[in-house]
Protein backbone atom coordinates (compact mmCIF):
# COMPACT_ATOMS: atom_id res chain seq x y z
CA UNK A 1 0.00 0.00 0.00
CA UNK A 2 1.35 3.38 -1.03
CA UNK A 3 2.50 5.67 1.72
CA UNK A 4 0.50 8.89 2.11
CA UNK A 5 2.32 12.19 1.59
CA UNK A 6 2.36 14.16 4.88
CA UNK A 7 0.36 17.38 4.82
CA UNK A 8 1.90 20.77 5.44
CA UNK A 9 1.33 22.00 8.96
CA UNK A 10 -1.11 24.79 7.99
CA UNK A 11 -2.54 23.24 4.83
CA UNK A 12 -6.31 23.23 4.51
CA UNK A 13 -7.55 19.67 4.69
CA UNK A 14 -9.90 20.27 1.77
CA UNK A 15 -7.17 21.59 -0.52
CA UNK A 16 -5.79 19.08 -2.99
CA UNK A 17 -4.13 21.40 -5.52
CA UNK A 18 -2.44 24.75 -5.30
CA UNK A 19 -3.46 27.37 -7.81
CA UNK A 20 -1.44 30.42 -8.73
CA UNK A 21 -3.50 33.35 -9.94
CA UNK A 22 -2.12 35.73 -12.59
CA UNK A 23 -1.37 39.26 -11.41
CA UNK A 24 -4.29 41.58 -12.00
CA UNK A 25 -3.58 44.74 -13.98
CA UNK A 26 -5.85 47.36 -12.44
CA UNK A 27 -7.16 50.41 -14.33
CA UNK A 28 -4.90 52.63 -12.21
CA UNK A 29 -1.85 50.58 -13.19
CA UNK A 30 -2.82 50.83 -16.85
CA UNK A 31 -3.12 54.60 -16.51
CA UNK A 32 0.32 54.70 -14.93
CA UNK A 33 1.86 52.71 -17.79
CA UNK A 34 0.35 55.01 -20.39
CA UNK A 35 1.59 58.02 -18.40
CA UNK A 36 5.14 56.67 -18.31
CA UNK A 37 4.99 56.16 -22.08
CA UNK A 38 3.96 59.78 -22.57
CA UNK A 39 6.80 61.00 -20.33
CA UNK A 40 9.31 58.76 -22.13
CA UNK A 41 8.37 60.16 -25.54
CA UNK A 42 8.49 63.67 -24.07
CA UNK A 43 12.08 62.97 -23.05
CA UNK A 44 12.89 61.96 -26.63
CA UNK A 45 11.27 65.16 -27.90
CA UNK A 46 13.45 67.21 -25.54
CA UNK A 47 16.51 65.46 -26.98
CA UNK A 48 15.16 66.11 -30.48
CA UNK A 49 14.77 69.84 -29.83
CA UNK A 50 18.33 70.07 -28.51
CA UNK A 51 19.80 68.13 -31.45
CA UNK A 52 17.68 70.19 -33.84
CA UNK A 53 19.09 73.36 -32.30
CA UNK A 54 22.64 72.08 -32.68
CA UNK A 55 21.88 71.12 -36.28
CA UNK A 56 20.76 74.67 -36.99
CA UNK A 57 23.60 76.32 -35.09
CA UNK A 58 26.22 74.23 -36.91
CA UNK A 59 24.59 75.03 -40.29
CA UNK A 60 24.11 71.32 -40.91
CA UNK A 61 20.44 71.24 -41.86
CA UNK A 62 20.90 71.30 -45.64
CA UNK A 63 23.60 68.62 -45.84
CA UNK A 64 21.05 65.94 -46.82
CA UNK A 65 19.21 67.15 -49.90
CA UNK A 66 16.62 64.37 -50.20
CA UNK A 67 13.91 62.92 -48.02
CA UNK A 68 13.79 59.14 -48.18
CA UNK A 69 11.69 57.84 -45.32
CA UNK A 70 12.91 54.23 -45.54
CA UNK A 71 16.18 54.17 -47.50
CA UNK A 72 17.36 57.32 -45.72
CA UNK A 73 17.64 55.40 -42.46
CA UNK A 74 21.13 54.22 -43.41
CA UNK A 75 23.96 56.71 -43.88
CA UNK A 76 26.52 56.25 -46.69
CA UNK A 77 28.33 52.95 -46.12
CA UNK A 78 31.08 53.23 -48.69
CA UNK A 79 33.45 55.87 -50.13
CA UNK A 80 31.33 55.97 -53.29
CA UNK A 81 28.24 56.61 -51.16
CA UNK A 82 29.89 59.58 -49.48
CA UNK A 83 31.03 60.95 -52.85
CA UNK A 84 27.46 60.69 -54.14
CA UNK A 85 25.98 62.50 -51.13
CA UNK A 86 28.62 65.22 -51.31
CA UNK A 87 27.96 65.71 -55.04
CA UNK A 88 24.26 66.34 -54.29
CA UNK A 89 25.16 68.91 -51.63
CA UNK A 90 27.55 70.67 -54.04
CA UNK A 91 24.59 71.54 -56.29
CA UNK A 92 22.68 73.65 -53.77
CA UNK A 93 23.17 77.41 -53.16
CA UNK A 94 24.60 76.95 -49.66
CA UNK A 95 27.63 75.13 -51.04
CA UNK A 96 27.97 77.22 -54.20
CA UNK A 97 27.81 80.60 -52.43
CA UNK A 98 29.14 79.88 -48.93
CA UNK A 99 30.86 76.51 -48.57
CA UNK A 100 32.56 76.19 -51.96
CA UNK A 101 35.89 75.40 -50.27
CA UNK A 102 34.45 72.64 -48.05
CA UNK A 103 36.17 69.25 -48.12
CA UNK A 104 34.82 65.77 -47.49
CA UNK A 105 35.82 65.72 -43.80
CA UNK A 106 33.86 68.88 -43.03
CA UNK A 107 30.91 67.67 -45.09
CA UNK A 108 30.78 64.46 -43.06
CA UNK A 109 30.66 66.49 -39.86
CA UNK A 110 27.59 68.45 -40.89
CA UNK A 111 26.03 65.37 -42.52
CA UNK A 112 26.12 63.41 -39.26
CA UNK A 113 24.26 66.18 -37.41
CA UNK A 114 21.42 66.20 -39.92
CA UNK A 115 21.34 62.41 -40.22
CA UNK A 116 21.17 62.07 -36.43
CA UNK A 117 18.35 64.60 -36.28
CA UNK A 118 16.31 62.72 -38.88
CA UNK A 119 17.10 59.31 -37.39
CA UNK A 120 15.89 60.42 -33.96
CA UNK A 121 12.74 61.73 -35.62
CA UNK A 122 12.06 58.25 -36.98
CA UNK A 123 12.72 56.74 -33.54
CA UNK A 124 10.21 59.13 -31.96
CA UNK A 125 7.59 58.22 -34.55
CA UNK A 126 8.02 54.50 -33.85
CA UNK A 127 8.22 55.07 -30.08
CA UNK A 128 4.82 56.70 -30.25
CA UNK A 129 2.91 54.78 -32.91
CA UNK A 130 3.87 51.21 -31.92
CA UNK A 131 2.97 51.54 -28.20
CA UNK A 132 -0.20 53.43 -29.13
CA UNK A 133 -1.28 50.56 -31.38
CA UNK A 134 -0.43 47.96 -28.71
CA UNK A 135 -2.28 49.85 -25.98
CA UNK A 136 -5.25 50.25 -28.31
CA UNK A 137 -5.39 46.56 -29.30
CA UNK A 138 -5.11 45.44 -25.68
CA UNK A 139 -7.80 47.84 -24.52
CA UNK A 140 -5.31 49.45 -22.14
CA UNK A 141 -6.09 53.05 -23.03
CA UNK A 142 -8.31 54.65 -20.36
CA UNK A 143 -11.84 55.55 -21.35
CA UNK A 144 -12.05 58.84 -23.21
CA UNK A 145 -8.32 58.99 -23.94
CA UNK A 146 -8.02 57.44 -27.40
CA UNK A 147 -8.58 60.74 -29.19
CA UNK A 148 -6.40 62.69 -26.77
CA UNK A 149 -3.51 60.28 -27.27
CA UNK A 150 -4.02 60.18 -31.03
CA UNK A 151 -3.39 63.93 -31.37
CA UNK A 152 0.32 63.94 -30.35
CA UNK A 153 0.95 60.97 -32.65
CA UNK A 154 -0.65 62.82 -35.54
CA UNK A 155 1.38 65.94 -34.78
CA UNK A 156 4.58 63.86 -34.71
CA UNK A 157 3.80 62.63 -38.24
CA UNK A 158 2.98 66.18 -39.36
CA UNK A 159 6.26 67.36 -37.83
CA UNK A 160 8.19 65.05 -40.14
CA UNK A 161 6.51 66.64 -43.15
CA UNK A 162 7.08 70.14 -41.75
CA UNK A 163 10.76 69.31 -41.26
CA UNK A 164 11.18 68.42 -44.93
CA UNK A 165 9.09 71.46 -45.94
CA UNK A 166 11.56 73.57 -43.96
CA UNK A 167 14.68 71.91 -45.46
CA UNK A 168 13.33 72.13 -49.01
CA UNK A 169 13.14 75.93 -48.70
CA UNK A 170 16.94 76.08 -48.67
CA UNK A 171 17.71 73.80 -51.60
CA UNK A 172 17.01 76.04 -54.60
CA UNK A 173 17.14 79.82 -54.11
CA UNK A 174 18.27 80.37 -50.51
CA UNK A 175 21.53 79.62 -48.70
CA UNK A 176 19.65 78.56 -45.56
CA UNK A 177 16.16 77.46 -44.55
CA UNK A 178 13.31 79.98 -44.51
CA UNK A 179 13.05 81.53 -41.01
CA UNK A 180 9.24 81.32 -41.14
CA UNK A 181 9.38 77.58 -41.68
CA UNK A 182 12.03 77.19 -38.99
CA UNK A 183 9.69 78.95 -36.55
CA UNK A 184 6.82 76.63 -37.49
CA UNK A 185 9.06 73.57 -37.07
CA UNK A 186 10.33 74.65 -33.64
CA UNK A 187 6.94 75.85 -32.47
CA UNK A 188 5.30 72.54 -33.37
CA UNK A 189 8.00 70.67 -31.44
CA UNK A 190 7.15 72.66 -28.30
CA UNK A 191 3.41 72.05 -28.81
CA UNK A 192 4.07 68.30 -28.99
CA UNK A 193 6.26 68.45 -25.88
CA UNK A 194 3.65 70.37 -23.88
CA UNK A 195 0.89 67.94 -24.89
CA UNK A 196 2.96 64.91 -23.92
CA UNK A 197 3.86 66.33 -20.52
CA UNK A 198 0.26 67.37 -19.88
CA UNK A 199 -1.07 63.93 -20.84
CA UNK A 200 1.53 62.25 -18.65
CA UNK A 201 0.58 64.39 -15.67
CA UNK A 202 -3.13 63.78 -16.18
CA UNK A 203 -2.67 60.02 -16.39
CA UNK A 204 -0.16 59.71 -13.56
CA UNK A 205 -2.90 59.90 -10.92
CA UNK A 206 -5.87 57.57 -10.48
CA UNK A 207 -9.02 58.82 -12.13
CA UNK A 208 -10.96 59.22 -8.89
CA UNK A 209 -8.15 61.37 -7.45
CA UNK A 210 -8.11 63.56 -10.54
CA UNK A 211 -11.86 64.06 -10.38
CA UNK A 212 -11.67 65.00 -6.73
CA UNK A 213 -8.74 67.36 -7.33
CA UNK A 214 -10.51 69.07 -10.21
CA UNK A 215 -13.26 70.23 -7.85
CA UNK A 216 -10.62 72.24 -5.98
CA UNK A 217 -9.11 73.84 -9.07
CA UNK A 218 -7.88 77.44 -9.08
CA UNK A 219 -9.70 78.59 -12.20
CA UNK A 220 -8.19 82.06 -12.28
CA UNK A 221 -4.67 80.70 -11.99
CA UNK A 222 -5.28 78.18 -14.77
CA UNK A 223 -6.30 81.01 -17.09
CA UNK A 224 -3.39 83.21 -16.04
CA UNK A 225 -0.82 80.44 -16.57
CA UNK A 226 -2.36 79.62 -19.94
CA UNK A 227 -1.99 83.23 -21.03
CA UNK A 228 1.62 83.42 -19.91
CA UNK A 229 2.30 80.06 -21.56
CA UNK A 230 1.01 81.53 -24.82
CA UNK A 231 3.33 84.52 -24.36
CA UNK A 232 6.27 82.16 -23.71
CA UNK A 233 5.35 80.29 -26.90
CA UNK A 234 5.35 83.57 -28.83
CA UNK A 235 8.82 84.27 -27.43
CA UNK A 236 10.00 80.88 -28.66
CA UNK A 237 8.73 81.68 -32.17
CA UNK A 238 10.53 85.04 -31.99
CA UNK A 239 13.67 83.21 -30.91
CA UNK A 240 13.36 80.92 -33.93
CA UNK A 241 13.27 83.98 -36.19
CA UNK A 242 16.39 85.29 -34.44
CA UNK A 243 18.14 81.98 -35.11
CA UNK A 244 16.86 81.86 -38.68
CA UNK A 245 18.30 85.30 -39.48
CA UNK A 246 21.41 84.87 -37.32
CA UNK A 247 20.14 88.06 -35.68
CA UNK A 248 21.70 87.21 -32.34
CA UNK A 249 25.17 88.01 -33.65
CA UNK A 250 24.52 91.44 -35.11
CA UNK A 251 23.82 93.53 -32.02
CA UNK A 252 25.95 92.54 -29.06
CA UNK A 253 25.49 95.45 -26.69
CA UNK A 254 22.84 95.64 -23.97
CA UNK A 255 20.49 97.21 -22.98
CA UNK A 256 20.90 99.25 -26.19
CA UNK A 257 21.39 97.96 -29.72
CA UNK A 258 24.40 99.56 -31.43
CA UNK A 259 24.03 102.46 -29.01
CA UNK A 260 20.31 103.00 -29.69
CA UNK A 261 17.12 101.73 -28.12
CA UNK A 262 15.79 100.91 -31.59
CA UNK A 263 18.37 100.98 -34.40
CA UNK A 264 17.25 103.15 -37.35
CA UNK A 265 17.78 100.27 -39.80
CA UNK A 266 15.14 98.26 -37.95
CA UNK A 267 12.36 99.87 -39.99
CA UNK A 268 14.01 100.36 -43.40
CA UNK A 269 12.22 97.57 -45.29
CA UNK A 270 9.07 98.20 -47.27
CA UNK A 271 6.31 97.33 -46.79
CA UNK A 272 6.75 97.86 -43.06
CA UNK A 273 5.39 94.48 -41.98
CA UNK A 274 8.38 92.74 -43.61
CA UNK A 275 10.64 94.27 -40.96
CA UNK A 276 8.84 92.30 -38.25
CA UNK A 277 9.74 88.97 -39.82
CA UNK A 278 12.75 89.61 -42.06
CA UNK A 279 14.77 92.53 -40.68
CA UNK A 280 17.45 91.14 -38.31
CA UNK A 281 17.49 94.37 -36.29
CA UNK A 282 13.75 94.41 -35.61
CA UNK A 283 13.68 90.62 -35.14
CA UNK A 284 16.19 90.85 -32.29
CA UNK A 285 14.46 93.97 -30.89
CA UNK A 286 11.12 92.14 -30.80
CA UNK A 287 12.72 89.15 -29.08
CA UNK A 288 14.12 91.45 -26.40
CA UNK A 289 10.82 93.29 -25.87
CA UNK A 290 8.77 90.10 -25.64
CA UNK A 291 11.34 88.82 -23.15
CA UNK A 292 10.89 91.86 -20.93
CA UNK A 293 7.10 91.51 -21.12
CA UNK A 294 7.30 87.81 -20.28
CA UNK A 295 9.56 88.55 -17.33
CA UNK A 296 7.09 91.11 -15.95
CA UNK A 297 4.16 88.73 -16.52
CA UNK A 298 5.88 85.91 -14.63
CA UNK A 299 6.57 88.20 -11.67
CA UNK A 300 2.88 89.14 -11.66
CA UNK A 301 1.93 85.46 -11.82
CA UNK A 302 4.29 84.64 -8.96
CA UNK A 303 2.78 87.38 -6.79
CA UNK A 304 -0.70 86.11 -7.60
CA UNK A 305 0.29 82.57 -6.61
CA UNK A 306 1.19 83.86 -3.13
CA UNK A 307 -2.52 84.52 -2.52
CA UNK A 308 -3.70 80.99 -3.24
CA UNK A 309 -2.67 79.52 0.10
CA UNK A 310 -1.63 76.32 -1.66
CA UNK A 311 1.93 75.35 -0.78
CA UNK A 312 2.75 73.14 -3.78
CA UNK A 313 1.22 75.57 -6.25
CA UNK A 314 3.36 78.35 -4.80
CA UNK A 315 6.42 76.11 -4.95
CA UNK A 316 5.96 75.39 -8.66
CA UNK A 317 5.62 79.11 -9.31
CA UNK A 318 8.87 79.64 -7.43
CA UNK A 319 10.54 77.37 -9.97
CA UNK A 320 8.84 79.15 -12.88
CA UNK A 321 10.22 82.44 -11.60
CA UNK A 322 13.71 80.99 -11.13
CA UNK A 323 13.69 79.56 -14.67
CA UNK A 324 12.48 82.86 -16.13
CA UNK A 325 15.13 84.92 -14.34
CA UNK A 326 17.83 82.47 -15.39
CA UNK A 327 16.62 82.42 -18.97
CA UNK A 328 16.58 86.22 -19.20
CA UNK A 329 20.07 86.60 -17.73
CA UNK A 330 21.45 83.89 -19.99
CA UNK A 331 19.77 85.46 -23.01
CA UNK A 332 21.53 88.75 -22.29
CA UNK A 333 24.87 86.95 -21.90
CA UNK A 334 24.26 85.09 -25.15
CA UNK A 335 23.71 88.32 -27.06
CA UNK A 336 26.66 90.11 -25.48
CA UNK A 337 28.96 87.22 -26.41
CA UNK A 338 27.79 87.12 -30.02
CA UNK A 339 25.61 84.01 -29.61
CA UNK A 340 28.31 81.30 -29.64
CA UNK A 341 27.08 77.74 -30.05
CA UNK A 342 27.36 76.72 -26.39
CA UNK A 343 25.56 79.83 -25.15
CA UNK A 344 22.81 79.55 -27.76
CA UNK A 345 22.03 75.89 -27.10
CA UNK A 346 21.91 76.44 -23.33
CA UNK A 347 19.47 79.29 -24.00
CA UNK A 348 17.28 76.89 -25.98
CA UNK A 349 17.44 74.32 -23.18
CA UNK A 350 16.32 77.07 -20.81
CA UNK A 351 13.23 77.58 -22.97
CA UNK A 352 12.44 73.85 -22.72
CA UNK A 353 12.73 73.95 -18.93
CA UNK A 354 10.49 77.01 -18.70
CA UNK A 355 7.74 75.50 -20.86
CA UNK A 356 7.76 72.22 -18.90
CA UNK A 357 7.58 74.11 -15.61
CA UNK A 358 4.67 76.21 -16.87
CA UNK A 359 2.81 73.04 -17.87
CA UNK A 360 3.50 71.55 -14.43
CA UNK A 361 2.35 74.72 -12.66
CA UNK A 362 -0.83 74.76 -14.76
CA UNK A 363 -1.52 71.15 -13.83
CA UNK A 364 -1.11 71.96 -10.13
CA UNK A 365 -3.60 74.81 -10.51
CA UNK A 366 -6.10 72.66 -12.44
CA UNK A 367 -5.70 69.54 -10.28
CA UNK A 368 -4.34 70.73 -6.93
CA UNK A 369 -2.58 68.31 -4.65
CA UNK A 370 -4.56 67.74 -1.47
CA UNK A 371 -3.23 69.60 1.54
CA UNK A 372 -4.38 70.24 5.07
CA UNK A 373 -3.88 73.99 4.92
CA UNK A 374 -7.11 75.78 4.16
CA UNK A 375 -7.39 77.42 0.76
CA UNK A 376 -7.40 81.20 0.68
Q: Got the DSSP string for 171-230? A: SSS-SS--HHHHHHHHHHHHHHHHHHHHHHHHHTS-HHHHHHHHTT--HHHHHHHHHHHH
Instruction: Give the pLDDT mean for 359-365.
Output: 96
| pLDDT value for 10 | 47
3-state secondary structure of 136: helix
What is the pLDDT averaged over residues 160-171? 90
* The pLDDT value given to residue 82: 93
At residue 17, does pLDDT exceed 50? no
What is the arithmetic mean of pLDDT over 350-357?
Answer: 97
- CB burial of 265-297 (b: ≥16 within 10 Å; e: otherwise) equals bbeebeeeeebbbebbbbbbbbbbebbeebeeb
Query: Does residue 28 register a pLDDT over 50?
Result: yes
Q: Which whole number is the average pLDDT over 233-250? A: 90
Most confident listed range (26-35, 56-65, 287-296): 287-296
Helices 146-168 and 104-137: angle between axes, nearest 10 degrees: 160
Give the model confidence (pLDDT) of 111-149 as tens digits: 999 999 999 999 999 999 999 999 999 989 998 999 999
> Which tens digit of pLDDT belongs to each residue from 44-100?
999 999 999 999 988 898 899 888 888 788 889 899 999 999 999 999 999 999 888
CA distance 130 to 360: 27
Q: Give 3-state DSSP helix, strand, coil % of the chain, rounded to 5.
A: 70, 0, 30
**Region 2-12: what's the mean pLDDT?**
51
Tell me if residue 257 falls in helix, strand or coil.
strand
What pLDDT is attached to residue 72?
A: 81
> pLDDT at residue 103 above 70?
yes
Neighbouring C-beta atoms of residue 47, cutoff 10 Å: 13
Angle at the Cα of 359 from the Cα atoms of 358 and 361, rounded to 5 degrees: 65
Residue 43 has pLDDT above 70, yes or no: yes
Q: Is the pLDDT of residue 256 over 90?
A: yes
pLDDT tens track for 194-211: 999 999 999 998 888 888
14-18, 29-33, 222-226 — most confident range:
222-226
pLDDT in the model for residue 7: 53
Distances (CA, A) of 356 to 35, 50, 190, 319: 15, 14, 9, 11
pLDDT of residue 309: 87
Cis check: omega of the bond before 255, within 30 degrees of 0: yes
- 109's CB contacts (< 8 A; 6+ apart) are 58, 60
**Long-range Cβ contact pairs of 305-308 (< 8 A, separation 24 or more):** 305/221, 307/376, 308/218, 308/221, 308/375, 308/376
Query: What per-residue confidence (pLDDT) applies to 177?
Result: 87
Instruction: Give mean pLDDT, residues 248-268.
Output: 90
**pTM for this prediction:** 0.89
- Domain chopping of the chain, boundaries: 27-204, 214-376
Q: 258 — alpha (psi -120 to 50), left (phi > 0) or beta?
A: left
Classify residue 8 as left (phi > 0), alpha (psi -120 to 50) or beta: beta
pLDDT of residue 25: 60
> Higher model confidence: residue 176 or residue 233?
233
The residues facing 257 across adjacent strands are 260
Amino acid sequence: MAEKKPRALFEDATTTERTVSAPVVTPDRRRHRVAMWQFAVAGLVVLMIVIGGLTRLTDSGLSITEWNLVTGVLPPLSPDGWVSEFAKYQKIPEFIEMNYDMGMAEFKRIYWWEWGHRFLGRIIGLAYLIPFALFLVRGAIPAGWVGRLFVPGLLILVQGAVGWWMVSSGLTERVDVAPYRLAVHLGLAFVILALLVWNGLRLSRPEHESLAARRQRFGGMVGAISGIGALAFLQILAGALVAGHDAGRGYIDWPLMNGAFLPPEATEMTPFWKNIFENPALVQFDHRMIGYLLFAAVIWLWLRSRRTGHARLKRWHDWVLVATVGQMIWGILTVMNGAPLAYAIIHQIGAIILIVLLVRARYEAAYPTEQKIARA
